[in-house]
A and B are shown apart, each in its own frame.
Chain A
Amino acid sequence: MSLILDVQDMTMDFGGLRAVNNVSISMEQNEIIALIGPNGAGKTTFFNCVTGVYTPTRGGISIQPPGGDRESIKGLKPSRITEKGLARTFQNIRLFPNMTVIENVMIGRHTQLKSGVLGAILRGPRTRAEERKVLEDSYEILKKLNLGHHVNDLARNLPYGAQRRLEIARALATEPFLLLLDEPAAGMNPQETRTLEALIRKIRDTEKVSIFLIEHDMSLVMSLSERIYVMDYGKLIAMGTPQEVKNDPEVIKAYLGEEVSA
C-alpha cells in the first residue's frame, strides 16, 4: 500500500502559538479526504506547511507520486513542491487579478514549459510551438471547468464562483497528482456548491488526481470525502469515515463548543 502523502508528527509554532500540534495525516492514491475543524484550528497552517509556505517546526512530510519514489518534501520551496506534483488553491482567492483568465492558467503551466529568456527573445520554432501548445492546453483546461467563455476576461472581473473555479483550473494546469483545496465552497450558494461537488468528483475520476480538502460546508464534506480528519486547537481529535466522525463525541464537543461561544 503506497501513501501518496504522509505527514508524520508535524508541529508548527508561530512564536509562542502552536498552530499545528503533532499532527499525522496520510492519504492513498485516488482518495478524497477532508480536514475539518472550527475556525483557527490550524487547517490552513497545515496546508501551508505541506505546500512549503512554512517549514514546520518539527515532523516529516513525504510524498510518493504514482509510479515514483518516496521522497521528503519538508523544507523545499513552494515552487519545487508544485513541480513535484502538489497543487493548491487558497482560502481567500489569490488569482492574478489583472491578468486574463487564460493567462492565469498559463502561469499554472509554467513548470511544464522550458523556454528561457534567450529562447523568448529569439523565438525560434521550438519556443513558438511551445507557446502555441500552452495556449491550446490552457484553453482545454478552461473548457473542462466551464470557463471557456471567459478566456480573455480579466480574472478580477469574474463572478465569485467562476473565480473559485479558475483557481482550481490554474492548479490543475500544473498537472498535480494531489490537489489541495482550501475551502473551495466558501461563499458559494447551495446550487454552486452542488456543481462544485460534481466537479471535484469528476476531477478525481477522470484526471486521476487525489483530493485533499479543507471545508466548513458539512453537507459537502460528508457526501464527498471518503475519510475525514478533525482538528481542534492545532491537535487532531478524530479520524474516520464521515459516519464515524459525525458520531464522535470529541467532534461534537468541539463543534458544539464553537456554537455555544458563537
Chain B
Amino acid sequence: MTLQQIKKTALVSLWFVFLTFPIMVIRVNTITQTITWRWHNMAFIALGTFFGGLLWRLALDRKPASARQAKQPEVLTEDPDVTDVKAESGIARRLGILRVKVAQKRTRRSLIALAVFSALLFPHLSSLYQTNIMITALIYVMLALGLNIVIGLGNMLHLGYIAFFAVGAYTYGLMHQYLGLGFWAALPVAAVLSTLAGILLALPVLRLRGDYLAIVTLGFAEIVRILLNNARNLTGGPAGISGIPRPSFFGMTMNLYQVSIYIYYIVLAAVVLTVFVVWRFENSRIGRALVAMGEDDIAAEAMGVDISRVKLTAFALGSLWAGIGGVIFASRTAFINPASFTVWQSIIVLSCVVLGGMGSIPGVIIGALGLILIPEYLRAFSDYRMLVFGAILVTMMVFRPGGLIQKRRRAYTFHVEEQK
C-alpha cells in the first residue's frame, strides 16, 4: 500500500461525496419549504468509501503479487534470437502453464455444468416473483450477448440496439393483432425481420467509425421509436398493443405459475442457443476477422478481410438475438408500447456488455444478470436502492475498468507436443 494508492482512494471517496451530495445531504421539505442539511450522512459516506476502498485495494494487491511473480520470467525469454537453452526452459515453463490450463478447463466445465443445472432447477426452488425477475434478466443476457457481437468483438459503438428488440416485439404484437398468429409462428418471422433490419442499418453506416457510428445508430433507434409512436393506425401509438398471448404448449391451458415457468425455460433455451452460436462464431474465420477489424480496420483490410461484409455479418447476427428476445419479451409482458424501447434501454444493454467485460461471454452474462438483478434485490434498501446501485457501478469502473471478466485470448498448445 503506497501513499499514492491512499491518495487515489481518498480522491475516489471525495468523488462519492460529491456525487451523493444532492441526495444524501440535502433534504428539501416541500411542504414547509425548508432544506435540512444532513451533514452526518456526508461523513458516513466519506469514511465508508475511503475505508472500503482501502480494503478493496489491499485485497487486490495481495492477489496479483503472487501472480506477477509467476509471470515475470516469461517476459525475459522474449529475445528474438533464442538460444537453445532459453527455448528449452521456455518449453518447460509452457508445459507448466499447459497443466494449469487443463485444470482450468476442468473447473470451467464443472462451472458451466453447475450453472446450467441450477438454472434448470431455479423456477422450482423459487417464487413466481423471482422466476419473473429471472426471465427479464435472461432476456437482457440475450440482448447483451447479441450486442456483444457488435461492440465486444467488432469494437463498433452501437447505441441503437434496442430498436431491434422493438422490431421483434412489434413483429409478434402486430402479427397477433392482424393475423391472429401465435408465439411460435412469430418467432422465426421476427428473427428474419430483425436480421434484415440489422442489415438495413448497417448498409448506410459501413463507412462510419467511432462517434459517428454511435450518433447514427442512436438516431436510428429514435426513428424506430418515433415511428412506432406515430403510426397510431397500425401500432396503436403510445397506447401500444395489449392482449398479446403467452406462448402455447400444444394447446394446453396453463395457469399463471405454469406459464411463467414455461417462458422461463423458453428464454433459458434461447440463452443457451445464443451462447453456443456466439461462442462458435467468435472462434471462427469470420469472427476472427471481425475482431481483427475492431483492432485495426486498415490492417485487416490489407490482410484481405472484406470489411463491409464482416460489418454486415456482425450487425445481422447481433440483431437476430434482439429480435428473438423481443418476441419473448412481448409474450411475457402481454403488453408493449414504445416506452419500453427508449435510448435508456440501449444504454442499459450497453452497460451490461461494458461492465461485464467486452468480448467475454461469461463476463457479458454476469454483467447482464448483475445489472438487472441487483437493483431488484436492492429493493430492500427502498430509497437508497439506485444510490447503492450507482455506487456499485462507480466502484466497478474505478477498480476494474476493463469489465468484470476480461476477455482471454485462446491459447493453442500444439507446439508443445511438437517440440518435445
Which residues of A pack against B, CB within 8 Å?
51, 53, 77-79, 82-83, 87-88, 90, 94-100, 102-103, 106-108, 110-111, 113, 115-117, 119-121, 123, 127, 130-131, 134-136, 139, 146, 148-154, 157-159, 161-162, 165, 170-171, 173-174, 192, 195
Contact for A95 among B82, B299, B306, CB less than 8 A:
B299
- Asked if A162 and B80 sit within 8 Å, CB to CB, the answer is yes
Q: Which residues of B lie under 8 Å from residue A150 when comparing CB positions?
A: 78
Q: Which residues of A lie under 8 Å from residue B419 when comparing CB positions?
A: 148
- Asked if B409 and A98 sit within 8 Å, CB to CB, the answer is yes
A108 to B288 alpha-carbon distance, docked (Å): 11
Query: Which secondary structure dominates where chain B touches chain A?
Result: helix
The B73-91 residues at the A interface (CB cut-off 8 A) are: 75, 77-82, 87, 90
Q: Which residues of B lie under 8 Å from residue A152 when comparing CB positions?
A: 409, 411-412
- Asked if A113 and B285 sit within 8 Å, CB to CB, the answer is yes
- Asked if A79 and B79 sit within 8 Å, CB to CB, the answer is no
Contact for B304 among A97, A111, A135, CB less than 8 A:
A111
Q: Which residues of A lie under 8 Å from residue B277 when comparing CB positions?
A: 121
Given contacts A83-B304, A136-B414, A149-B87, contact A100 B280 (CB under 8 A): no
Q: Which residues of B lie under 8 Å from residue A77 when comparing CB positions?
A: 301, 306
Q: Which residues of A lie under 8 Å from residue B306 when comparing CB positions?
A: 77, 79
Interface size class of B (residues with CB under 8 A): 35 or more
- Chain A min CB distance to B405 (Å): 15
- Chain B min CB distance to A153 (Å): 8
The B84-111 residues at the A interface (CB cut-off 8 A) are: 87, 90
Q: Which residue of chain B has its CB nearest to the CB of A134?
A: B285
Residue B305 at the A interface, CB < 8 A? yes
Stretch at the interface among B34-42, B217-225, B289-297: B289-297
A103 to B301 alpha-carbon distance, docked (Å): 15
The B403-420 residues at the A interface (CB cut-off 8 A) are: 409-412, 414-415, 419
Q: Which residue of chain B has its CB nearest to the CB of A154?
A: B409
Q: Which residues of B lie under 8 Å from residue A83 when comparing CB positions?
A: 304
A119 to B81 alpha-carbon distance, docked (Å): 40
- Asked if B80 and A78 sit within 8 Å, CB to CB, the answer is no
- Asked if B80 and A159 sit within 8 Å, CB to CB, the answer is yes
Q: Which residues of A lie under 8 Å from residue B291 when comparing CB positions?
A: 96, 99, 103
| Extra pairs beyond A90-B299, A99-B409, A149-B87 (11, CB < 8 Å) | A77-B301, A96-B292, A96-B300, A103-B410, A107-B300, A111-B304, A120-B286, A127-B284, A131-B285, A135-B414, A139-B415
Q: Which residue of chain A has its CB nearest to the CB of B296?
A: A94
A174 to B298 alpha-carbon distance, docked (Å): 15
- Asked if B412 and A120 sit within 8 Å, CB to CB, the answer is no
Residue B194 at the A interface, CB < 8 A? no
5 chain-A/chain-B pairs, Cβ below 8 angstroms: A96-B300, A107-B292, A116-B286, A174-B304, A192-B80
- Asked if B303 and A82 sit within 8 Å, CB to CB, the answer is yes
The 5 closest A-B pairs by CB, nearest first: A120-B284, A111-B304, A82-B304, A96-B295, A94-B299
